[in-house]
Structure 1
Amino acid sequence: MTEDVKAQKFSTLFRWFDQNGDGRLTHDDLQNMAEMFAGLAREDDKENATAMRNAFETWWQLLLTHGDADGNGQISRQEFITVMEANVTHPQHFEAAVLAIVDALMRALAADKDGVLSLQEYVRMYDALGIPPEHSEPAFRRLDRDGDGSLSHAEFRAAITEFYLSPDPKAPGNWLLGPFA
């Protein structure tokens, strides 16, 4: 592997956030991601949609404050990797910037109030977020640790945490955004 595991995952995350592909993250990019996530909530679920938007804003402020080395209001891929490793994934920030999105998303998606995501719900969610089913279906199978055919809030939270924090190249959470080599 040419770059360490976390840097590889953060590069994948950067490409996903950089929806226009210009090689820079801006406030607009993070707001667009926030709207994609908030769009998964029911129309009357303002609380969870707002929580996701607020968490993405927190994330942007962390990126800008700790990662914009040249002060241009944009985050390069290398700046992103550096700030993700040093600041966003730091315990002081991780809950408010990343896990707050996960928690609001799970509350919003639990439309049937069972508190779990089925394979179909998971694939539909990631499809709406721009991750194709050919990636999300195998990811779901890896993340369903107890093999019951659904992802509990705890399993999903564990997968997200693994994606962001684990240096293990074999960690199931690495597959959240597609194949991990």
Structure 2
Amino acid sequence: MGALLDQKYEKLFSLLDANGDGVIAEDDFTLMAGRVRASFSEERAAKGETYADEMMNYWRALRDTADADGDGRIDRDEFRQALHQVSDRFDTLIGPLYQAGFHLADRDDDGRVGREDFIAVLVAIGVPADEAGATFDRLAERDGQLTKDQLMTAATLYYRDENPDNAASHLFFGAL
């Protein structure tokens, strides 16, 4: 794994450590899912439930792959060593979480997300609002909307791409 992926994985670790205790555990995923769900209205409650379910599926996949010592917590070293394996199975292990987040943010179910809702999700997981806005601006179409395909491509590249020229994927969760 190269230095760029290490930087991205470190950024991701810091976001997933939602309570800031230096390890990733189930309570971090519960906390993050709650923050994301709270950032949207009650009318999206069913979508929020799906998002929370996918967040827990992501936790279980990560735990099963990364928790080498079986203590129910993932430290930075365990995370770095295992994330490449998890990212190789992005479509089945990680992709559903991103799809659920997209559907939660897709206010009218038209397959497109606006800037405000995209930023709301990223801010809820810990990305500063200005960086979340910059991410949206890099990814969105000229009409100011983001499609699920655009989101999924950028998310997949975040986990896998090491080309330093591809800022749209590297800066998915803000500055590294």
Give the alignment's TM-score, normalised by structure 1.
0.84
SS in 1 for 2:94: helix
* Residues 27 and 125 (structure 1), Cα distance of their counterparts in 2 relative to 1, 3 Å cut: closer
Q: Tell whether the 8 Å contact from 1:163 to 1:176 is kept in structure 2 after alignment.
A: yes
Partner of 2:72: 73
Partner of 1:154: 149
Q: What is the 5 A alignment of 1:2-151? A: 4-86=3-85, 88-91=86-89, 94-144=90-140, 146-151=141-146
1:147-176 Cα offsets, whole Å, 9 max, x none, are 332211111111111111212222211112
- Choose 35-44 or 165-174, whichever is displaced more: 35-44
- Choose 77-86 or 161-170, whichever is displaced more: 161-170
* Code of the aligned partner of 1:97: L
Pick aligned residue for 2:158 from 152, 159, 163: 163
Give the alignment's TM-score, normalised by structure 2.
0.86
CA distance in 2, matches of 1:44, 1:19: 25
Unaligned runs of 5+ in 2: none
- Choose 32-41 or 72-81, whichever is displaced more: 32-41
Q: How much has 1:125 moved relative to structure 2?
A: 2.9
The aligned length equals 174
SS in 2 for 1:65: helix
CA distance in 1, matches of 2:66, 2:159: 17
* Residues 95 and 51 (structure 1), Cα distance of their counterparts in 2 relative to 1, 3 Å cut: farther
| 1:179 lines up with 2:175 in the alignment | yes
Aligned-residue RMSD, C-alpha? 2.0
Q: Tell whether the 8 Å contact from 1:67 to 1:79 is kept in structure 2 after alignment.
A: yes
SS in 1 for 2:42: coil
Q: Tell whether the 8 Å contact from 2:51 to 2:101 is kept in structure 1 after alignment.
A: yes
Unaligned runs of 5+ in 1: none
